[in-house]
Amino acid sequence: MTTGAARVKTMNAARNARAVRSALNARSVRHALHNTSALRSPATRALVTTRLATAGWHDHRGHNRWWRHRHGGFGWVGPVFWPFAFYDVYDYSLWGYGYGPSFWDYGYPDIYAGIFAPYGYDNLMAYGGYLPGGGKSARGSFASTNSGDRSSLAQMCGDDSREIAGLPIDAIQKALLPDDAQRAALDDLANASVKAAQDIKAACPTDVALTAPRRIALMQQRIEAMIAAVNLVQLPLEKFYGLLTDEQKARFNGLAARQRPARAERTARSAEPVCGAPQAGLTDWPSDAIEESVQPNDDQRKGLDALQNAATSAADMLKEACQPEEALTPPARLAAVGKRLTTMLEAVKTVRTALDGFYGSLNDEQKAGFDAIGPQRAGGLDRQRGERRLSRGRYHTSIEHTIRRMISFAR
């Protein structure tokens, strides 16, 4: 790399680090990350992930990018896959389909974004300073030494405090008036809930994944932790719910309805369970870009064909496993969550095996070309779609204003 190119790369990394730091320190984001009531709203979580996921993009159009979820928010924020995973599982399982899209929006596009990450080197290194234990910038030093900053991004990985992960015990007891056996089962469920959150939090990345194989590996690790968390909670939830009388179950379902805001009810009536379905034209396989950037030989092309077939198979299995109807009880909804996560894990493993084989066959120059496809594709698609440019002030101010409004509603 020439001295001039190295200087530009360093400047870009420093600029992106400042953008990420600014996003994490923005008052609206900081308050949302430490406001448990606000974060229980899927809309607030989507707004926070949008603010953070697009912090390093300087064309200010990240809210319309192809890896954005259908109902808002992003499945990747820098190196973190599935931000606020515990909330998504918890909200849908307990409170029903009004909170469903934040969970069911995950699917093949997230795998695609893991293979062809839209984040370039400079973006990812900027986010690295906020991972647990810190990270290093392009200069080789920590992008941020403020422990509060580093914990902000880690907050999206999960929080195992009872205030965050615990069930609304007081509200449940008040609504159900449980007897001693039911109260003991409820305590067991609450403890399992905290342990489940700890499992999910433990799967937070501790490094910056700069390559596709590493991202898919971290994706698999995160999903495995979520499955373990679901398995941990499933039996205590079934036991507690099974001890309830029909009248108590009706009250519990009524409590769930009261937890859902009017916006979530409208979403429940209007949103189809798309289950992270591929968006036509946006997650098409970039054959031409791979051919131009990697220039595979005949043997490598066989591995590339295997990878494309694996990706197609992953998309098909996730589409077929979409949950078409709302499960009616919390245990049934949690079981549906577990089934979906198991299918996602199978899809990720299918892609990972083929990806490791193909990527491992490439030389260093070819690997660099493959890793550059995602950022190039992201920019190219935006230009093709002719999206209107927004200034940093207008775009970020709009999101921060909305987040503040959501927090005020939650209080």
Q: Domain map of the chain by residue range?
A: 3-410
For residue 409, pLDDT over 70 is answered with: no
Question: Quick one: average pLDDT of 236-262?
Answer: 83
* Rg for the chain, CA atoms, rounded: 22
Residue predicted with more confidence, 146 or 10: 10
* Per-residue pLDDT tens over the stretch 30-76: 777 777 777 778 888 888 888 888 886 655 444 457 788 888 889 99
In angstroms, the CA 65 to CA 374 distance is 12
For residue 292, pLDDT over 80 is answered with: yes
Using H for helix, E for strand and C for coil, what is the string for the chain? Answer: CCHHHHHHHHHHHHHHHHHHHHHHHCHHHHHHHCCHHHHCCHHHHHHHHHHHHCCCCCCCCHHHCCCECCCCCECEECCEECCCHHHHHHHHHHHCHHHCHHHHCCCHHHHHHHHCCCCCHHHHHHHHCCCCCCCECCCCCECCCCHHHHHHHHHCCCCCCHHHHCCCHHHHHHHHCCCHHHHHHHHHHHHHHHHHHHHHHHCCCCCCCCCHHHHHHHHHHHHHHHHHHHHHHHHHHHHHHHHCCHHHHHHHHHHHHHHCCHHHHHHHHHCCCCCCCCCCCCCCCCHHHHHHHHCCCHHHHHHHHHHHHHHHHHHHHHHHCCCCCCCCCHHHHHHHHHHHHHHHHHHHHHHHHHHHHHHHCCCHHHHHHHHCHHHHHHHHHHHHHCCCCCCHHHHHHHHHHHHHHHHHHHC
For residue 261, pLDDT over 80 is answered with: no
Residue predicted with more confidence, 398 or 381: 398
CA angle at 87 for the pair 82 and 93, rounded to the nearest 5°: 110
pLDDT the model gives residue 12: 64
In angstroms, the CA 45 to CA 38 distance is 8
For residue 398, pLDDT over 70 is answered with: no
pLDDT the model gives residue 257: 65
For residue 148, pLDDT over 50 is answered with: no
pLDDT the model gives residue 391: 40
pLDDT the model gives residue 186: 93
pTM of the model: 0.84
Q: How confident is the model at residue 79 (pLDDT cuts 50, 70, 90)?
A: confident
Q: How confident is the model at residue 268 (pLDDT cuts 50, 70, 90)?
A: very low
For residue 300, pLDDT over 60 is answered with: yes
For residue 324, pLDDT over 70 is answered with: no
For residue 302, pLDDT over 90 is answered with: yes
* Per-residue pLDDT tens over the stretch 210-228: 899 999 999 999 999 999 9
Q: How confident is the model at residue 82 (pLDDT cuts 50, 70, 90)?
A: very high
